[in-house]
Homo-oligomer: A and B are copies of this chain.
Amino acid sequence: MIPKPAVERLCRVYHVLTKLLEEEAVEISSAEIGKRMGIKPHTVRKDISYLDGETGSPGGYDVKALSGRIRDVLGFDERTRGCIVGLGRLGSALLAYMEEKHEGFEIAAGFDSSVNRLELLKTRVPLYPAHEISERVRKKKIRVAVLTVPADAAQLTAERLTEGGVRGIINFAPVGLHGLEGVVVRNVYLLDEIRIVSALIQSAEYFNKEIKYGTSI
């Protein structure tokens, strides 16, 4: 089993490789990947070693081969279909941001409980009222949902999504979701981020250490 932090970093390695392909680069070293990501070369190598492939050589990694290997192992092969639920200010910004074409996933729907809002928004992606969530998610085979509803609607909406067969939820609502069996939940607590950074600074100062809370997701 690949460690979770390694999976996260490999997703970013993939991101870097995608760009390199656009730049028509052929080979790249772990040092260069590390530099672009702000992490150390041996971390990059270790992460790649979890893929159980034979993609490197003394010149470095073959960009295409490595990118393909990551795609296979992490399952970027088939397009992953996602949706955004809750089209307030944050949700619609994320929709606009994500509905453009991206390697490895595709936004296939948006949902909101306000029909009025659905009519006002102009998006490429089709929008549906919230009560159709589980039905639409099932029909469209959506695997991942971005949850940007108000805190008090989050749990119920998450349950509806799970009923529809969603396997992963990226939760932007500032409440913990519970009781969702077999679903990967990632919480992104934007409002806490500033407090977290502030606390990490403070904590580092308090213990009179140099700041060592480096880059992370």
Number of identical monomers bound together in the oligomeric complex:
2
A114 cross-chain contacts in B, Cβ below 8 A? none
Asked if B102 contacts A191 (CB within 8 A), the reply is yes
Contact A197-B177, Cβ < 8 Å, known A74-B203, A185-B215, A192-B15: no
Closest B residue, CB atoms, query A171: B215
Of B14, B37, B169, which one neighbours A195 at CB under 8 angstroms? B14
Q: Which of A156-189 contact B (CB under 8 A)?
A: 167-170, 174-178, 182-189
A23 cross-chain contacts in B, Cβ below 8 A? none
Check A75 for interface membership: any CB of B closer than 8 A.
Answer: yes
A177 cross-chain contacts in B, Cβ below 8 A? 38, 215
**Closest beta carbon of chain B to A35's beta carbon, Å:** 7
Check A1 for interface membership: any CB of B closer than 8 A.
Answer: yes
Asked if A143 contacts B200 (CB within 8 A), the reply is no
A29 cross-chain contacts in B, Cβ below 8 A? none
How many interface residues does A have (CB within 8 Å)?
A: 77
Of B104, B193, B209, which one neighbours A170 at CB under 8 angstroms? B193
Of B143, B188, B207, which one neighbours A1 at CB under 8 angstroms? B207
Check A66 for interface membership: any CB of B closer than 8 A.
Answer: no
**Closest beta carbon of chain B to A197's beta carbon, Å:** 4
Asked if A196 contacts B186 (CB within 8 A), the reply is yes
Q: List 17 A-B contacts (CB under 8 A).
A: A7-B203, A11-B192, A11-B195, A11-B199, A15-B174, A15-B195, A74-B195, A74-B202, A75-B201, A76-B198, A76-B199, A80-B198, A186-B196, A186-B215, A187-B216, A188-B190, A196-B217
